[in-house]
Amino acid sequence: MSAALEYWPSPPPWGWVADDLDHLPLEGPNGEPDFFKHVELIDGALVFMSPQKRFHQRMIRRLTEKLDDQAPEYLSAVDQMDVKLGHRTRPCPDVAVVDAKAAEDDDRTFYTPDEVHLVVEVVSPESEDRDRKTKPSRYAEAGIAHFWRVENNGGSPVVYVYELDPATRAYALTGIHHDRLTVPVPFPITIELGDLPE
């Protein structure tokens, strides 16, 4: 068990750090099953993610498949794997495109920003602020070149595509895609968005 849990529910005096997530048990401090199964670290605070709605789960699965099918051999799409952005920030994006060599390592619990080429967040009601504001700014500060945000528009996905401006280390919106997503970077991608909810 993590030494940090001795202070639960307060954070440890030194604060939560990214490496603590590798030492948390699945069960909670009082025996709650799967208590730490879906947790992120954002700016030193543990964030517990709520159960996914079906739209959210379906978007993750289908986008991962589509991206992996179209990715060049040196890249691979993965879902729900942490990205260690710094000592106190370790979010878990819904989908990421990473170096294939890193994805092949089955012992990995996180990737580093230099291994990540695209992160995708599918917005849920409980994660709106994190997915629209907090996490994109942290991804940009870490130098991840591409970010997509997927919104649920009455059961149909809308994808907001962003690219990093290296001068400002902030994302710039490059497109809003409703029916078909076609982009040339980080590699040529075409996705019929209407097919994703199926």
Q: Is the pTM of this model over 0.85?
A: yes
Give every CB contact of residue 197 below 8 A, 6+ residues apart in sequence.
55, 58, 59, 62, 155, 156, 157
Cα–Cα distance between 178 and 10 in angstroms, integer? Answer: 43
Give every CB contact of residue 93 below 8 A, 6+ residues apart in sequence.
80, 81, 83, 119, 120, 121, 135, 139
**Is pLDDT of 198 > 70?**
no
pLDDT digits (tens, 9 = 90+) for 78-98: 999 999 999 999 999 999 999
Cα–Cα distance between 37 and 49 in angstroms, integer? Answer: 9
Task: Provide the H-helix boundaries in 104-184.
Answer: 128-129, 135-141
Cα–Cα distance between 144 and 39 in angstroms, integer? Answer: 21
- β-pairing, 95-99 with 110-111? unpaired
Helix (H), strand (E) counts: the chain: 4, 12
pLDDT for res 102: 98
